[in-house]
Amino acid sequence: MTSLDKPTEDPQADDARTVTEAALFEAFGGVRGMVETVLPGLLFVTIFTINKDLHWSAIAALAVSLVLVVVRLVMKDTVKHAFSGVFGVAFGVVFAMMTGNAKDFYLPGMLYTLGLALAYIVTTLAGVPLIGLILGPVFKENLSWRTRNPGRKKAYAKASWAWGLILLAKCAVLFPLYWWADTTQLGWVLIALKIPPFLLAVWLTWVFLAKAPAPIDVFAEMEAEEQAEKERERAAAGDTGGTPSSGRHRR
What digits encode the pLDDT tens for the residues 109-137? Answer: 999 999 999 999 999 999 999 999 999 88
Residue 169 has pLDDT above 90, yes or no: yes
133 and 167, same structural domain?
A: yes
142 and 184, same structural domain?
A: yes
152 and 90, same structural domain?
A: no
Which range has the top average pLDDT, 158-162, 199-203, 204-208? 158-162
144 and 90, same structural domain?
A: no
79: confidence class by pLDDT, cuts 50, 70, 90 = low
81: confidence class by pLDDT, cuts 50, 70, 90 = low
Q: Check: CB of residue 25 under 8 Å from CB of residue 15.
A: no
215 and 120, same structural domain?
A: yes
136 and 177, same structural domain?
A: yes
180: confidence class by pLDDT, cuts 50, 70, 90 = very high
216 and 123, same structural domain?
A: yes
203 and 130, same structural domain?
A: yes
Distance CA 241, CA 38 (A): 67
Rg (CA), the chain: 26
Residue 196 domain-assigned (yes or no): yes
236: confidence class by pLDDT, cuts 50, 70, 90 = confident
pLDDT at 246: 47
Residue 234 domain-assigned (yes or no): no
Residue 36 domain-assigned (yes or no): yes
181 three-state secondary structure: coil
Residue 219 has pLDDT above 70, yes or no: yes
Total domains, the chain: 2
Residue 67 domain-assigned (yes or no): yes
22-25 contact pairs (CB < 8 A, 24+): 23/135, 23/138, 23/139, 24/135, 24/202, 24/205, 24/206, 24/209
Count Cα atoms within 13 angstroms, Cβ side, for 83: 5
Residue 16 domain-assigned (yes or no): no
Q: Give the chain's mean pLDDT.
A: 83
Domain stops at, among 33, 66, 101: 101
Residue 171 has pLDDT above 60, yes or no: yes
79 three-state secondary structure: coil
Find the domain containing 32 and state its range: 24-101
Residue 32 domain-assigned (yes or no): yes
64 and 112, same structural domain?
A: no
141 and 56, same structural domain?
A: no
Distance CA 154, CA 30 (A): 25
Q: What is the pLDDT of residues 131-162, one digit of tens each?
A: 999 998 888 888 999 999 999 999 999 999 99
Residue 201 domain-assigned (yes or no): yes
User: How remote is the C-alpha of 199 from its chain's centroid?
Assistant: 12
190 and 87, same structural domain?
A: no
Residue 128 domain-assigned (yes or no): yes
Domain stops at, among 72, 101, 130: 101
141 and 93, same structural domain?
A: no
